[in-house]
Amino acid sequence: NFMLTQPHSVSESPGKTVIISCTRSSGSIASNYVQWYRQRPGSPPTTVIYENNQRSSGVPDRFSGSVDSSSNSASLTISRLKTEDEADYYCQSYDNSNLVFGGGTKLTVL
Amino acid sequence: QVQLVQSGAEVKKPGASVKISCKASGYTFTSYYIHWVRQAPGQGLEWMGIFNPSGGSTTYAQKFQGRVIMTGDLSTSTVYMDLSDLSSEDTAIYSCARDSPSGSYEIDYWGQGTQVTVSS
């Protein structure tokens, strides 16, 4: 099975833009959809992006997702950062009937 | 509205088994797969497997094969996850989650999570 590698943490200031990467270890990133989930402390995850670049209901257009075959990675971009965006973010994909999560990225907005 | 309501916290001794329930409501139970995901303290999300309420088929992550059983009860729209031979490394929050309408391993709703603590 493959792995999805994310940076352990990122930080940025309010109003700025941050990009969280998710690199697939083997197989093509484009072969299966990538989802992004946000998890705030003490709460279950919620879907932010599904099918690579589709925003989940209620998610503002400050959030966008993309896939880059040349780097075999997916990215979550959050623009015009707000303090409320501070959370853990997980990418997820699947292959051979197995679902795989990235290790998660802690976003700090300071 | 879609809801996945899980059973309460459990404390188990090493070697024991735990069975967690996940009661679904607000949608057609047999139309959506259910995933089980766990999260150890301070760690990331770990996929355990998937259950198809329509027919009862399962796929388990290799790590849990032989130790996990996922079942369902159509009469109560409830899915169960049974994990055996527990060790301290199984201390985690266990969550059920619904697969999306596309049925392509995309989660759209999560249960509230069930804390399982394994301690002697």
Tens digit of pLDDT for each residue in A1-31?
899 999 999 999 999 999 999 999 999 999 9
Please name the member of A44, A93, A94 whose beta carbon is closest to the beta carbon of B110.
A44
B102 pLDDT above the threshold of 80: no
Given pLDDT bands bounded at 50, 70 and 90, which one contains residue A60? very high
Tell me, what's the pLDDT at A84?
96
Could you tell me which residues are beta bridge partners of residue A105? A89
Answer yes or no: are the C-beta atoms of B96 and B79 closer than 8 Å: yes
**Nearest C-alpha in A relative to B4:** A44
Tell me, what's the pLDDT at A1?
84
Most A CBs within 10 A among B37, B95, B106, B114, hence the mutation to make, goes to B106
B4 pLDDT above the threshold of 90: yes
Tell me, what's the pLDDT at B93?
97
Residues 6+ apart with CB under 8 A from A33: A50, A51, A52, A93, A94, B104, B105, B106
- Per-residue pLDDT of B58-97, as tens digits, reads 999 999 999 999 999 999 999 999 999 999 999 999 999 9
B32 pLDDT above the threshold of 80: yes
